[in-house]
Every structure is written in C-alpha cells, then in structure tokens.
A = this chain, B = another copy of it.
Amino acid sequence: MTKSRRDVLAGMMALGASSATAHSSGHPQRGTVERWGVHELVFDGPADGNPFNEVTLAAVFTRAGHEITVPGFYDGEGVYRIRFSPPEIGSWSWRTTSNRSVLSGRRGAFECVAPRAGNRGPVRVVPAGFHFAYADGTPYRQIGTTSYSWALQSDQRCAETLRTLASAPFNKMRMCVFPNVASVATQPFARVGPGPRDWDPARPDPAYFRRFEQRILGLAALGVEADIILFHPYDKVRGYSDINGADAERYLRYVAARWGAMRNVWWSMANEYDLIKNKSTEDWDRLFQVLQAADPHDRLRSIHQINTYYDVRKPWITHASVQNGSAVKDDGRAIIHRLFALKPVIFDEVCYEGNSTARWGNLTGEQMVERFWWGTIAGTYVGHSETLDAGRQPDTSWLGQGGTLRGSSPPRLAFLRRILEQAPRPGIDPLQPFWDYHMGGKEGEYYLTYFGEARPTAWPVVVPGRGLPAADYRLDVIDTWNMTITPAAGAFHLTPRDPYDLHAPERPSISLPGKPYLAVRLTRI
C-alpha cells in the first residue's frame, strides 16, 4: 500500500472507516465498520491505457436481501477503490463486477456495527417537509458558510480554516472543486501541454481529488457538512467548468464514486449555473440524472443560480439553494420560496458581511445576522460568508480562501444556533404565513417572532392559534445582537380571542427595550 493510500484511510478513520484488500485467492480480510462510516475496498488492477475510461468496476453489497451497487474509481498507480457507507447494522457481503477479469468476481464480507458518539449519519430531508435531520433522527439546523477555494489553499492555510471552523457556528461549508481565486491546487486534470487549457478531461488527477477529500474529511471531523460545488463560471482561463457531454458525466461519476460514501457530502451541481454559457437547462437536467444514478448513497443535491431560478421541484433536487440579496430582508419573501419549492429552502447567498466596494459584499454584521433571523422565522435556512478586505488581490477573504473570520456576525450566529437547538422538531415553520404574523414555530407549542430593525417598546401578546385550547406559556425576550435571553416572570395564560388568534387577557402586552434586533419566544409549559 502506497503512502497516499494510507493517508486516505487515516483520514477516513474519522468517519468510522475500515478497509479490506481482497486478494484473488478469494479469501478476503474481514473488517468492521460503523454504521454510516466508510468501508473501502482496495484492489490492484490494470494501469495501462486510460483506466478512467476503459475499466468498469463496481461491487454489489448485500445484507438480508438488501442489495446496493456501488461504483468504484481509479486512484492511479494501478490502484482501484470502492467506497461504501453501510446504512444498516449487520453482516454485509460483497462481490465485484468489472470488465477486467482481475477485478471481477472478487468477494468478501464485513460487519457493520453501531456508530460511535458523534456519528449521527448523513443529513437527509425530513419527508414531505421543509427541514433536515441526520439519519439518526437528530434535527439538522443549517447555519452555513461559504469559502469557495479554501480547500485548494496550502496545507497550512487549510489547517487554519479548520481551526477557525472548530470554534465557529457553521455546520455547512460551500466549497468548489475547481479553483475560483488564487489557489495552490489548480490542476484537477492531467496536464498535456504548457497552456492553461492544455489538460485532458478524460484523466482526472487522483492527487488533486485525494487532496480535496482530505478537506472533506477535515470538515467531517468537525461535524461540518461539505456542500461540494461541482461547476462554477469564474475560471475563464482554465475553463474546467466548460466540460460537457461525456467529459462532464465522467467527472460526475468520478466524484460520486470517490466522495459519495463520505456522510457529510452534499452535491451542489453549480454556483451561478446560469452564468455557465455552454450548458443548457437540458444539460443540467441530464447531469443531475447522471449524478443521481452514479451515487448510490443518494447525497443531497441542489444548484445555485444568479438570476434564473432552476426548477427545484424537479425530482432530483432535494432542496432549494438560492442566491437572493433581498429575499431574507423580510420573512414574507422567504416564505414564498417554500410555497414554490415544497422542499427545504437554503438561502446560500444573501450578500456577505464585509467591506467590499461591490454591493454584494458590504453587509454590516447586524445586517448579516438579521437575514438569518428573518429566514429562521420563515422556516428557511441562511448562509454566511465574509468579504472583509475583499478588494485585495489575490482575494484573501474568507469567501475566497478561508483562513480566519474577523466579522461580528459569527458569535451571533452561534447564539442563533443555540436557540434553534431548542426549537421544535424537525424545525420552525412559518405560522399562517398569508396573514403577516411574522412568526415561526409550531402552533400551540412554540412561537418565535422577530422585529428586525424596528425598536419596539411593547408587544401585544397575540399569536395565531385557530381552534386551539387555552394553555400556559413561558415568554422570553431575546436580544439577538447582544445575545441575551430575558425570561418574563411567571406564565402567560393564552386563550382564544377570535376565530384566528390566542391572546393573554391578564397580561395583554409586554414591554420591550426599544432596541433593534429583538425577538420574542413563547413556549408552552
């Protein structure tokens, strides 16, 4: 086993990994892997010709009649791998198929055991709803960030980014496979000449993808989802995102086989897809279908736009990933995204905290946090990034290269995350959204309202509650910027006021401190 092979395995141990090298003797090693970990099979095979194109390899994993076919991939130097993340505990067996006899008919078995603490499985969409949960049922409350090319920076800079994330509130990172700003790793495909476009799309460079997967695993160790952006329109010089047709499909199959078993992987087909001029909507549709078919682990899939919203009701889209600078300046606008999507909505780009001269990169920390709160009470999720000193060339901001965070929003987003962790399962939904209550939660159980920049000095205790019985509630005044939660003494007895609302006749109103960025929370006792 080469050095690089050991590296991969060491990194994957964080996911609860095991490996087996099946020899042609037919007596494979047996291993043990935890549920939702990675079981990797490693084989020696042909290195001649173009293995990426010419060699097919897959394994059928079987447990109690449940069969999953998992494609393998070529890792260079005559090494082939198949990575599988078992969804169920128990005894799994496997058998390979290949168009090369040396790789075909290999077989083996392993035990899948209960996951260790901290392994909650992959994030899934809660069926027929607007929220996410880990496979073990724990709600996943998305607080995202974006650092497009952090993973392509030096090992030292990447380590710095991971240290930053270790104490940051973010549980999802959006990141590009191909570079968009100055980077250390810039060659995902084999070089065939001196020019920027002299690369062979039929030959992924395993070292590039191996390096990238170490970053994915670094995020996994921190409990951060890796939202992997597969195409983007920014690199006009090298033009990696211009690959189309069979080249694009091979690339998608490669990353699906290589990374799909890692439980923190999400697929973002593209950033600002509608700026990539050589792909039509039909191309994107086909690429999604190729990716879906190539990914037996069925990771989350979406796509990010600049102007033209992709049709997120298409069956291969698991959630909306939206860029819109004004959609979360108001819960009402965010809510409409849910009405159209009928799926979870993440506002992955809502402008950034920073000091850029470009209008998309100069939010104050207060504005950044406000967007998260409007999105929250609308039952949607929001993403952060930072463009402080974005005017410097090369772009060394968090958005471009990662590193450290200097903005004022992250501590407040950590505060929001703690609030969300106490909110109902699977998540906050907007309450009677056609009637502008500006309130999320769950009727009769939990109410969260937010006032944005307004500076209220009082709030009438009225909440939607059609047909609900009277009940007692706890009330908290939340200062979302100063990060304080002030409980009101005693209970509020909420009773029906009219066909639509509950009110508190004995305590009809509460006083508020007349500051911006306040919220009020009611929780049934």
User: Is A332 on the interface with B (CB-CB < 8 A)?
Assistant: yes
The verdict on A434 contacting B337 (CB below 8 Å), with A308-B342, A332-B330, A342-B309 known, is no
User: Is A329 on the interface with B (CB-CB < 8 A)?
Assistant: yes
User: Is A50 on the interface with B (CB-CB < 8 A)?
Assistant: no
**A65→B324 CA distance, assembly (Å):** 49
User: Is A333 on the interface with B (CB-CB < 8 A)?
Assistant: yes
B340 near A434 (CB under 8 angstroms)? no
A329 near B332 (CB under 8 angstroms)? yes
The chain B residue with its CB closest to the CB of A338 is B309
Chain A positions 460-506 with a Cβ under 8 Å from a chain B Cβ: 500
Interface string of A306-331 (1 = CB under 8 A from B): 00110101000000000011110110
Most buried by B among A309, A332, A336: A336
User: Is A433 on the interface with B (CB-CB < 8 A)?
Assistant: yes
In angstroms, how far is the closest chain B Cβ from the Cβ of A233?
17
B313 near A436 (CB under 8 angstroms)? no
The verdict on A359 contacting B325 (CB below 8 Å), with A333-B332, A333-B336 known, is no
The verdict on A339 contacting B309 (CB below 8 Å), with A325-B435, A332-B330 known, is yes
The chain B residue with its CB closest to the CB of A358 is B499
How many chain A residues sit at the interface, stated as a range, is: 20 to 34
Q: 14 A-B Cβ contacts within 8 A?
A: A309-B342, A311-B311, A311-B313, A325-B435, A326-B434, A326-B435, A327-B332, A327-B336, A329-B436, A330-B330, A333-B333, A337-B340, A340-B341, A359-B435
The verdict on A340 contacting B436 (CB below 8 Å), with A330-B330, A330-B333, A333-B333 known, is no
- Contacting residue for A359 out of B311, B313, B332, B500, CB 8 A: B500
- Contacting residue for A336 out of B311, B336, B435, CB 8 A: B336
Known: A309-B339, A324-B336, A327-B336. 6 other contacts (CB 8 A): A308-B339, A324-B434, A330-B330, A330-B332, A336-B340, A340-B341
The chain B residue with its CB closest to the CB of A341 is B340
B325 near A434 (CB under 8 angstroms)? yes
Report B-chain residues with C-beta under 8 Å of the C-beta of A434.
324-326
**A434→B434 CA distance, assembly (Å):** 22
**A359→B499 CA distance, assembly (Å):** 10
Interface residues of A (CB under 8 A from B): 308-309, 311, 313, 324-327, 329-330, 332-333, 336-337, 339-342, 359, 433-436, 500
**A61→B436 CA distance, assembly (Å):** 53
Report B-chain residues with C-beta under 8 Å of the C-beta of A326.
332, 433-436
**A44→B311 CA distance, assembly (Å):** 50
Report B-chain residues with C-beta under 8 Å of the C-beta of A308.
339, 342
In angstroms, how far is the closest chain B Cβ from the Cβ of A476?
27
Most buried by B among A337, A339, A341, A436: A339
Report B-chain residues with C-beta under 8 Å of the C-beta of A433.
326
The 8 closest A-B pairs by CB, nearest first: A340-B340, A325-B434, A336-B336, A309-B339, A311-B313, A326-B436, A332-B333, A333-B333
**A324→B333 CA distance, assembly (Å):** 12
B340 near A309 (CB under 8 angstroms)? yes
Report B-chain residues with C-beta under 8 Å of the C-beta of A313.
311, 313
In angstroms, how far is the closest chain B Cβ from the Cβ of A219?
29
The chain B residue with its CB closest to the CB of A437 is B326
In angstroms, how far is the closest chain B Cβ from the Cβ of A196?
28
**A308→B339 CA distance, assembly (Å):** 7
Report B-chain residues with C-beta under 8 Å of the C-beta of A332.
326-327, 329-330, 333
In angstroms, how far is the closest chain B Cβ from the Cβ of A434?
4
**A434→B337 CA distance, assembly (Å):** 14
Report B-chain residues with C-beta under 8 Å of the C-beta of A325.
434-435
Most buried by B among A313, A327, A340, A435: A340
**A333→B341 CA distance, assembly (Å):** 15
Report B-chain residues with C-beta under 8 Å of the C-beta of A336.
324, 327, 333, 336-337, 340
**A433→B327 CA distance, assembly (Å):** 10
**A336→B322 CA distance, assembly (Å):** 11
